A and B are shown apart, each in its own frame.
Chain A
Amino acid sequence: MAIKFVLCLNKQGALRLIRLFEPFPGESSNNQSTIAQIYKLISSRDHRHQSNFVEFSDSTKLVYKRYAGLYFVLGIELEDEEVIYLSYIHLFVEVLDAFFGNVCELDLVFNFHKAYMVLDELLIGGEIQETSKLVLLERVNYLDRLN
């Protein structure tokens, strides 16, 4: 049980963040088409009548959630229990929000490297590294101040 990848896409399907912990499903030389397929799948779902979980391939299912104009997507294994992964996404968004102060898409665009910094403290090797929002914030703020 591990996260295979983390994606952040905007409503138009533009990539804002990508983190692969193992090669993408599908052709490795063709990551952008995998991203396009993922976007197509989740953007076509009705968020009021459909769950936040959807099978993507015979080895991967997606857990995703939309916050304002951004989709946060995690790719996990089929046999994994989906529900905990919603908490991963939520924690990530909460920390981003606290770190940037009312985070918006532009923060992730202009400060994409900081978004990666936050992600690195939360999630590496496909597993969660820290679950406390306070500890995460303290750590990220410390790293941000380093020259």
Chain B
Amino acid sequence: MLAATSNNRSHNSMKGLQLFIADLRGSVHAEDREKRIQAELVNIRRQFGANNDKERGKGSSVSPLMASSMNGYQRKKYVAKLAYILIATNTTRIADVMFGLEECCELMASSIYSEKFIAYMTLEMLYCSPTVAQQAGDRIIQQLKHDLASTSDNSVSLALNFLAVVGKFDSRLTAELIHEVFQVLRSPTSAQILKKKSALAFLALIRNDSSILTQDARRKQLWIQRITSLLDDSTNYRLMISVLPLIDYIAREVDGQACVKLIPQLSDILYNCITGKGEASYDLSGQQSMPNPWLVTKIVAILNFLISSPSSSSGETTFSNIDQGTLGKLRTSVTKAIEIGTEPALDAVARTVKNTILFSLINFASKLDPSTDAIVSSVSALCSLLASTEINTRYLTLDCLIKLCSVSGKSARDDVRVKHMDQLFGLLLIERDTSILRKLVDLLYTLADSSNVQPIVNALLKFMTDARQSDNSIRTDVSVKIAVLTEKFATDTTWYVVVSLDLLALPTSSLGSSDIWQRICQIVVNNKSLQLLTCRRLLEYLRQRGNVSEAIIKASAFILGEYAELLAPDTSCGEIFNLFTDKYFSVSNLCRAMILTTMMKLYKRDGEIGSAVIKFYQLELNSLDVELQTRSYEYLKIIQLEKVSGVRLVEALFEPMVPFNSKRNPLLSRLGGSVLSSSDSTSDFSTANSISTAPTPPPTRKSKTISRNAKYEDQQLAAGWQEGLRRMLRHKQGVFCTSPFLKILYRLSVAPAQPELLEVVLTYVNISDQPITSLLTDLIPIRTDNDPPYIMKVLSVPNLKLLEGERTSHRFEILTRRASPVEQSPILNVSFKCGGHTSEISLKVAAGITNTISTGQDSLKGQVSLSQFVQRWRALGDALGRSGEYHTKTNSLQTLEQIGACMQKMGFDVVDQAIAVDTVFAAGIVHTKNDGNSGSLLKLRWQTDGVDITCKTTKGGQLSEFIVQCVCAALA
């Protein structure tokens, strides 16, 4: 019995709490429940109150019984009861339980885990109310600091958990505690569970206020590097799951550029996960293991953000900036995902996981410049899923298809158009869920073009007339889409008129506002060829028995009023007048007002109907509606005035409608965030056909304004970087840089077929006595906008890990588009970790114009003789004057021989001569993509205090200056 009692006092059960819950469940009536809760609140308040009194009155007469009345267990029990009251009342009583805040904080400081847990849990629930931070903020923060520094992992874990849950509610938590959280995150000795919790706590805190990272550039760089290095253990998928959301946030909101270099690493993880290498699998009970869907979606989300669409031009990372190895892995991952996604699944849960992987990668695939084949296989994989019996699958498949058709554009759309239209039309008839129908309609809208507009519009019209759909919002949406599509793509005028009027004839409720009939009227006014046909069709509608939709009557009132004479021999104005009087009393006041005006227009054409019109207006003078009354009165007066004075006033007042000149289709704005961009549609029907559908790509980077340029400027170059740059200008291979841990060697080569293309191979050697990890590289050009001086392409990235003495190579190309100053050379940023030490090195990689210099058709040295040189020198001077010439003096103290040798190493042709003393003559051809090849001649005169350099080039502008800059740098 005793054992049972003590057992009850454990974390597992609190008897008082269980009884209270049972009581509440037992109360049948809401009133009883209320009473029970109220009674319990009074009881807890008394218990806590007694406790507080006791504390306040310390030292005075306190009964020993009272002192022992509130132990940790009891406090836990009462706090737990408050938490339960909060849940049981659907949080309505949050203000009524706040009195327990102090006891809650007291309980938080307990040394017993189960008590601490209840306190933390309750505070996590209460913290959404600002009262908590106001009343107990200081105390909670103190306790959190204490627990974060605790030696007990369980206490640290509770504190981190608390921050991860409520971090977003109070920015003070960020300011006070982010450093402590980061300590846990970065410490190599933290337990895995703490690392995971601290990553997410850190995320919650910076979501609140990221200035802690953005204000201090040094800290930002260091912290981001610490965080990204958590991905290093490429087999620790469990840690990755918690770290990836943090990296995602940093990429999006803090520093996207710092994350670009993670692309190869992330791609590796994704590839291993999808192809089933490593242990990144997700075990569904009793089934084959599958790639972990969380890992896949998280990585793809980050990659999707970091990699821009192929069409992007504003200097962001696109597939062309990614090395072939990485790109290959990504493409293989997509193929594999399609395989996984189309395999049969054992149950709904497995299906969900497969779909997650499939949709996630297909949505991403468009970033990888997919081949037509790849798109076709994506389309057929998706369309096969459309036949699924599961609603979720169909919904998500449609969503994915829309994205695919809008982003990958033409080839995806064409494939669906050719093979899968009937399937889509079939779905339109059987689907019942509004959200699925909406997607389906969006997809059809995206797919429409002039070749298939007729079947699509017919299917949509059929859908509209189908009584099964009762949701008016989707009907309105579909009607607007029909109107836009017919206007945009119709090639057959008859069809356009028939369909548009069929649309107007639908019940009024499904058309929503009056935009559609107004737009159709505009188009009819602007296109003569439509007018007669439209008048005839409208007449047919008006002659029908029974109700005609108001939109048709409004359009008729306007169009027949304008063009009644077109119907002249067959149908008289009198007959039209009669048709309108028939309808007049069954329509709204607005429509009646329009008809009154139409009657005036009819009267203008045919004075014969005058007496009938006058009678009608006289009748309406008694209308209850002021507008109708006024209008009738005014029109009546106009007619009377005409009769009295004989002036044709009506002629002047009701002139024919002039063409509308609004260029924008107002309907497009109603489509809102539809997948089709609201490309302008002119009101002129004939040109409207040619308007192309330009789908908008999905948003990628928000940080479009952050240009690479800023990143280039931000780089802190390593001490002595000039040395490596100079060596690269002078020699084709050598040591680029040496640091205590890492040595970088380089080799430059030029492809004979494309002399403006420089291939660079960097070899990284680990010269420390420990392994190097997180070896990440990034090449930063001076600018990447529309007209960059050079373009770089990474061929292969170095390995992430480098054991002692091991080496790895990094290959890339630099294509010179036009000459540029050598100080604008690209910057190589290398970061790595070695034995707990993180380093970052930034160096300029020489992309000087002389790097790809050559010596004419064949590479025989000394081909140019002095006389040839002098002759060319003069010829250049005659032809270009001073414009291609540059002169400077450098204080290099090299000897004449050294200068000659240096020029030769750089690739110049040095004239072999002994006539001009102290002078070196050199010639060479520079290569650029945009400006082609240009010849250059240099005269270097050795002097005791330096070298006097003059350069002439066959091309004017700054080319000679850029060449001299390279020579000066090499001689320095």
Q: Is there an interface contact between B433 and A113, defined as CB atoms closer than 8 Å?
A: no
Question: Of residues 706 to 726 in B, which have CB atoms within 8 Å of A's CB atoms?
Answer: none
Q: What chain B residues lie within 8 Å of A1 (beta carbons)? A: 245, 248, 301
Question: Of residues 630 to 651 in B, which have CB atoms within 8 Å of A's CB atoms?
Answer: none
Q: What chain A residues lie within 8 Å of B128 (beta carbons)? A: 20, 23-24, 28, 31
Q: How far is the CA of A129 from the CA of B193 in the complex (A)?
A: 9
State whether the Cβ of A35 lies closer than 8 Å to any Cβ in chain B.
yes
State whether the Cβ of B356 lies closer than 8 Å to any Cβ in chain A.
yes
Main secondary structure of the interface of A (DSSP, over half): mixed
Given known A-B contacts A83-B356, A125-B203, A113 and B83 have beta carbons under 8 A apart: yes
Shortest beta-carbon distance, A141 to chain B, in Å? 12
Main secondary structure of the interface of B (DSSP, over half): helix
* Nearest chain B residue, comparing its CB with the CB of A63: B392
Given known A-B contacts A19-B165, A84-B297, A125-B165, A146 and B356 have beta carbons under 8 A apart: no
Q: Is there an interface contact between B197 and A129, defined as CB atoms closer than 8 Å?
A: yes
Q: Is there an interface contact between A54 and B435, defined as CB atoms closer than 8 Å?
A: yes
Q: How far is the CA of A31 from the CA of B94 in the complex (A)?
A: 10
Q: Is there an interface contact between A129 and B167, defined as CB atoms closer than 8 Å?
A: no
Q: What chain B residues lie within 8 Å of A110 (beta carbons)? A: 18, 21-22
Q: How far is the CA of A52 from the CA of B393 in the complex (A)?
A: 10
State whether the Cβ of B965 lies closer than 8 Å to any Cβ in chain A.
no
Shortest beta-carbon distance, A15 to chain B, in Å? 5
Instruction: From B40-48, B84-92, B140-148, B762-770, give the one contacting chain A.
Output: B84-92
Given known A-B contacts A81-B297, A83-B356, A86-B352, A125 and B167 have beta carbons under 8 A apart: yes
State whether the Cβ of B238 lies closer than 8 Å to any Cβ in chain A.
yes
Q: Is there an interface contact between A50 and B433, defined as CB atoms closer than 8 Å?
A: yes
Question: Of residues 74 to 97 in B, which have CB atoms within 8 Å of A's CB atoms?
Answer: 80, 83-84, 87-92, 94
Q: Is there an interface contact between A112 and B349, defined as CB atoms closer than 8 Å?
A: no
Given known A-B contacts A83-B352, A90-B349, A53 and B241 have beta carbons under 8 A apart: no
In the complex, how many residues of chain B place their beta carbon closer than 8 angstroms to a beta carbon of chain A?
A: 75
Q: Is there an interface contact between B391 and A51, defined as CB atoms closer than 8 Å?
A: yes
Q: Mark A24-35, 1 if CB is under 8 A from B, else 0.
A: 100010011001
Q: Tell me which of A55, A113, A132 has the highest count of chain B C-beta atoms within 10 A of its own C-beta.
A: A113
Q: What chain A residues lie within 8 Å of B360 (beta carbons)? A: 81, 84
Shortest beta-carbon distance, B787 to chain A, in Å? 34
Q: How far is the CA of A50 from the CA of B168 in the complex (A)?
A: 33
State whether the Cβ of A133 lies closer than 8 Å to any Cβ in chain B.
yes
Cβ-neighbour of B164 out of A32, A82, A124, A143 (below 8 A): A124
Shortest beta-carbon distance, A137 to chain B, in Å? 12
State whether the Cβ of B25 lies closer than 8 Å to any Cβ in chain A.
yes
Q: How far is the CA of A132 from the CA of B280 in the complex (A)?
A: 10
Cβ-neighbour of A49 out of B89, B121, B238, B391 (below 8 A): B391
* Nearest chain A residue, comparing its CB with the CB of B439: A51
Q: Is there an interface contact between A87 and B356, defined as CB atoms closer than 8 Å?
A: yes
Q: Is there an interface contact between A124 and B396, defined as CB atoms closer than 8 Å?
A: no
State whether the Cβ of B223 lies closer than 8 Å to any Cβ in chain A.
no
Q: Is there an interface contact between A139 and B114, defined as CB atoms closer than 8 Å?
A: no
Shortest beta-carbon distance, B159 to chain A, in Å? 12
Q: Is there an interface contact between B200 and A22, defined as CB atoms closer than 8 Å?
A: no
Given known A-B contacts A1-B248, A125-B201, A127-B200, A22 and B432 have beta carbons under 8 A apart: no
Q: What chain B residues lie within 8 Å of A21 (beta carbons)? A: 165, 168, 204
Q: Tell me which of A23, A28, A81 has the highest count of chain B C-beta atoms within 10 A of its own C-beta.
A: A81
Q: How far is the CA of A144 from the CA of B154 in the complex (A)?
A: 12
State whether the Cβ of B285 lies closer than 8 Å to any Cβ in chain A.
yes
Q: Is there an interface contact between A127 and B203, defined as CB atoms closer than 8 Å?
A: yes
Q: Is there an interface contact between A125 and B193, defined as CB atoms closer than 8 Å?
A: no
State whether the Cβ of A131 lies closer than 8 Å to any Cβ in chain B.
yes
Q: How far is the CA of A134 from the CA of B12 in the complex (A)?
A: 21
State whether the Cβ of B436 lies closer than 8 Å to any Cβ in chain A.
yes
Q: Mark B343-363, 1 if CB is under 8 A from A, else 0.
A: 000000100110110011001
Question: Of residues 99 to 143 in A, which have CB atoms within 8 Å of B's CB atoms?
Answer: 109-110, 112-113, 116-117, 120, 124-135, 139, 143
Listed in ascending order, the chain B residues whose CB lies under 8 Å from chain A are 10-12, 18, 21-22, 25, 80, 83-84, 87-92, 94, 112-114, 117-118, 121, 124-125, 128-130, 154, 161, 164-165, 167-169, 193, 196-197, 200-201, 203-204, 207, 238, 241-242, 245, 248, 282-283, 285, 292-295, 297, 301, 349, 352-353, 355-356, 359-360, 363, 391-392, 394-396, 432-436
Q: Give the 6 A-B CB pairs with smallest separation, nearest first.
A: A124-B164, A125-B200, A125-B164, A125-B204, A146-B113, A127-B245
Q: A32-B92, A81-B356, A124-B197 are in contact. List 10 more A-B contacts (CB 8 A).
A: A24-B128, A35-B91, A49-B391, A51-B394, A84-B297, A86-B352, A90-B352, A113-B117, A125-B200, A147-B114
